[in-house]
Amino acid sequence: MERRRFIINSAITAAGFAILPSGSLFASAPQKVRMGYIGVGARGMSHVSEGLLRDDVEIVAVCDIQESSLKIFREYVAKKGHAPIKEYTGGLDAYKQLLDRKDIDAVIIATPWQFHHPQAIDAMKAGKYVGCEVIAGLTVEDHWDIVHTSEKTGMPYMTLENVCYRRDVMAALNMARQDLFGEIVHLEGGYQHNLRGVLFNNGKQYYGGGVEFGPNALSEAQWRTQFNIDVDGDIYPTHGAGPCMHYANINAGNRFTNLVSVSSKARGLAAYVEELSPGNKNAKINYKNGDVTTTMINCANGETVLLSHDTHLPRPYSLGFRVQGTKGLWMDVANSVYIDHKSKEDDSWDPAQTWFDKYDHPLWKKYEKFAEGAGHGGMDWFVFNAFVESVKQKKQTPIDVYDSVTMSVITPLSTKSLKEGNAPQEFPDFTQGKWKTRKNTFALDDSGF
């Protein structure tokens, strides 16, 4: 079915009901969110497709400095039968013309990582809600800038971390909140994904087909590969960290206190290039980013969190989630759950799906039909929808600025830990003490839906 804006009046009947009533959901008059997009490459176009499907979103203008991206955007809009949309292009400051418009309520930022910080700062100063792809900034200071600007302007900032809305991740969160795992002791997650075809292509297609990067390549290979050359550290921590933060109530009665990172040697990318193109100059580059980077984080309440960044070697996709407590655990690599005294056999795994069918999160039960066909198994609809509804209702985003920078700042802290010989790094308290009294409200009701 075609996904679009909707209101569902039916009651939630999911087993393991663990969601608060939404009260006056959509009580305000229906309205359109007037949206601007900064960056309409591959990821930006995913958000464009979500916006064009909704009758409560008006895409007012977009900005991109590459004609190739704008051409794809233009053709897609026309194919959908939509009128032409205003475009801004030119130099790196072209996005500021978009931000000057008074008829834009919110912006989606889907540009290379190095541009997120200044673009988000300028957007908040211009009075726009910000939905930004990961990562928030490249330095610890960048992350503090994001926080201070959001606080000063009163404009919400939301990292569009879609894995927080992944169906199994939310089912496990539902189980954790119903004490199936007991007291949480240890958590794991990460980014374990063969990205070699993302980091290199032939300049004719987005993914694979060659070993080019930089100006001779397309899409993410134009810029993302360089981070793997220049930086040793966990350069993409949010897929694992975001969900783990919700399990551990980080910034809501708990906080990350410090971390330490270790990194393996870097051999995978050079070996990949050499295999596809023997003798190619790109096989001789000294790639600094270790093939497997492991980061261990301590929490104020005594939990430990282990994150893994593993994107240069041949391997099936997995984010490596593990939620472990005094009564049992879930491990996504094994697709298994074990609950003491409740699993089918003692000390034997149950298939995870048997538990997730029973404890499917109420939000997924209620809205699954409208997420059909959305990217990444439907979770792209959930994260986009949550942002749009926050703007419509003029409320805080479910992933707020404190959560956004906390999951993102792991990158510069990890890098610093490795530079200092695996030295522990103190975690900034972006809430400045407010974590002690804040409550974890993520996905507890559907007021953002």
For residue 17 the two structure tokens come to 């009901």
**86/175 same-domain check:** no
In a domain, 384, yes or no: no
pLDDT in tens, 56-84: 999 999 999 999 999 999 999 999 999 99
**211/349 same-domain check:** yes
**218/107 same-domain check:** no
**79/110 same-domain check:** yes
pLDDT band at 342 (very low <50, low <70, confident <90, very high): very high
Phi, psi of 330 (to 5 degrees): -120, 135
pLDDT in tens, 378-434: 999 999 999 999 999 999 999 999 999 999 999 999 999 999 999 999 999 999 999
**180/62 same-domain check:** no
Residue 65: burial class (beta carbons within 10 Å; 0-12, 13-18, 19+): middle
Position 373 scores a pLDDT of: 83
Q: Which of 139, 159, 179 is the last residue of a domain?
A: 159
**141/274 same-domain check:** no
Q: Assign 3-class secondary structure to 7-67.
A: CCCCCCCCCCCCCCCCCCCCCCCCCCEEEEEECCCHHHHHHHHHHHCCCCEEEEEEECCCH
Position 350 scores a pLDDT of: 97
pLDDT in tens, 218-270: 999 999 999 999 999 999 999 999 999 999 999 999 999 999 999 999 999 99
In a domain, 41, yes or no: yes
CATH of the domain at 312: 3.30.360.10
pLDDT in tens, 176-217: 999 999 999 999 999 999 999 999 999 999 999 999 999 999
Ramachandran assignment for 422, one of left (phi > 0), alpha (psi -120 to 50 degrees), beta (any other): left
Q: Which of 93, 127, 159 is the last residue of a domain?
A: 159
**84/149 same-domain check:** yes
In a domain, 26, yes or no: no
Q: Is 324 helix (H, G, I), strand (E, B) or coil?
A: strand
In a domain, 236, yes or no: yes
In a domain, 21, yes or no: no
Alpha-carbon distance of 388 to 198, in angstroms, equals: 29
Whether the model pTM is above 0.85? yes
Q: Are 241 and 299 in contact (CB under 8 A)?
A: no
**143/186 same-domain check:** no
Position 27 scores a pLDDT of: 36
Domain of 37?
33-159
Task: Report DSSP state, residue 220.
Answer: G
**73/172 same-domain check:** no
Asked if the bond preceding 12 is cis, omega within 30° of 0, the reply is: no
Q: 99-126 burial string, b = 16+ CB within 10 Å, else e?
A: beeeebbbbbbbbebebbbbbbbbbbeb
Q: Is 176 helix (H, G, I), strand (E, B) or coil?
A: helix
**168/146 same-domain check:** no
Position 446 scores a pLDDT of: 81
**75/138 same-domain check:** yes
Alpha-carbon distance of 165 to 149, in angstroms, equals: 27
pLDDT band at 10 (very low <50, low <70, confident <90, very high): very low
Give whole-number Cα distances, 328 to 168, 178, 180, 382, in Å: 16, 13, 7, 28
pLDDT reading at 32 higher than 90 = yes
In a domain, 74, yes or no: yes
Position 374 scores a pLDDT of: 85
CATH of the domain at 41: 3.40.50.720
Mean pLDDT calculated for residue range 84-101: 98
Domains held by the chain: number: 2
In a domain, 288, yes or no: yes
Helix (H) or strand (E) holding 75, with range, is helix 67-79
CB atoms inside a 10 Å sphere around CB 396 = 13
Q: Which of 104, 127, 159 is the last residue of a domain?
A: 159
Give whole-number Cα distances, 111 to 107, 118, 122, 189, 201, in Å: 12, 11, 14, 25, 19
**136/100 same-domain check:** yes
Alpha-carbon distance of 137 to 145, in angstroms, equals: 9
In a domain, 92, yes or no: yes
How much is the mean pLDDT over the chain? 93
